[in-house]
């Protein structure tokens, strides 16, 4: 219990060092960012590393029955629609409608993550500018010389917000780009599933 109290006090001191009106919004952005990244990581589970044609064949022949990811689920839904609809053009339209929901899942929270990555450093920079203004105002009134750390201490505190803004943005940028690339590949998989299922021929010949 004492360790938790000490940790909370250290956290509170750190947040106050950069200004509560800037640091706490940045902390909220951290929570929202990692929620969005976590959701996207969980959603973008492909289910298998096998290519789409092999995956369709396994589900069509019954060698695989349990879906373990988004692409697996798309194959199962696609096969169900294809078996219920004999017309290729009608089947393609139905598949496009069903796969639209999958595409929405692929892009969910994508814009939120990008927005936070852009906004967080700007908020941090705003906090630094505010801190620098306060530092030079104190310097003008000579009150900063009487404080511990003097000018260096004031500038150091002003840079805390920029530091936290970069802590928010850099991991979000790197992980977000990785997830975006994975989502783009999975979208291509969905298009390939549609082409395979809507090609003229028997499903057993896939």
pLDDT lower than 50: segments of the chain: none
Task: Provide the domain limits for residue 113.
Answer: 20-205
Per-residue pLDDT tens over the stretch 82-130:
888 877 788 888 999 999 999 999 999 999 999 999 999 999 999 888 8
Is 132 domain-assigned? yes
State residue 68 phi and psi, 5-degree precision.
-120, 10
Is 114 domain-assigned? yes
DSSP string, 143-189: -GGGSTTHHHHHHHHHTHHHHHHHHHHHHHHHHHHHHHHHHHHHHHH
Specify the pLDDT at position 140.
65
Is 49 domain-assigned? yes
Q: Round to whole Å and give the CA distance between 95 and 98.
A: 5
Percent of the chain with pLDDT strictly greater than 70? 87
Is 86 domain-assigned? yes
Is 1 domain-assigned? no
Is 7 domain-assigned? no
Specify the pLDDT at position 200.
53
What's the pTM value of the predicted model, to 2 decimals? Answer: 0.81
């Amino acid at each position: 219990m004492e360790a938790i109290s000490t940790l909370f006090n250290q956290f509170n001191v750190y947040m106050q060092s950069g200004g509560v009106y800037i640091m706490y919004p940045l902390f909220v952005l951290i929570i929202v960012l990692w929620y969005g990244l976590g959701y996207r990581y969980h959603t973008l589970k492909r289910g298998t590393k096998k290519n789409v044609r092999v995956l369709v064949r396994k589900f069509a022949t019954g060698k695989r029955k349990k879906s373990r990811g988004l692409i697996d689920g798309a194959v199962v839904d696609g096969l169900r629609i294809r078996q219920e609809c004999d017309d290729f053009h009608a089947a393609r339209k139905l598949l496009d409608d069903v796969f639209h929901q999958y595409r929405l899942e692929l892009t969910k929270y994508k814009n939120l993550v990008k927005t936070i990555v852009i906004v967080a450093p700007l908020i941090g920079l705003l906090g630094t500018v505010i801190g620098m203004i306060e530092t030079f105002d104190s310097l003008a009134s000579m009150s900063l010389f009487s404080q511990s750390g003097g000018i260096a201490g004031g500038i150091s505190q002003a840079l805390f917000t920029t530091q936290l803004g970069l802590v928010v943005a850099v991991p979000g940028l790197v992980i977000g780009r990785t997830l975006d690339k994975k989502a783009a590949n999975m979208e291509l998989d969905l298009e390939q599933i549609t082409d395979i299922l809507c090609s003229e021929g028997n499903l057993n010949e896939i």
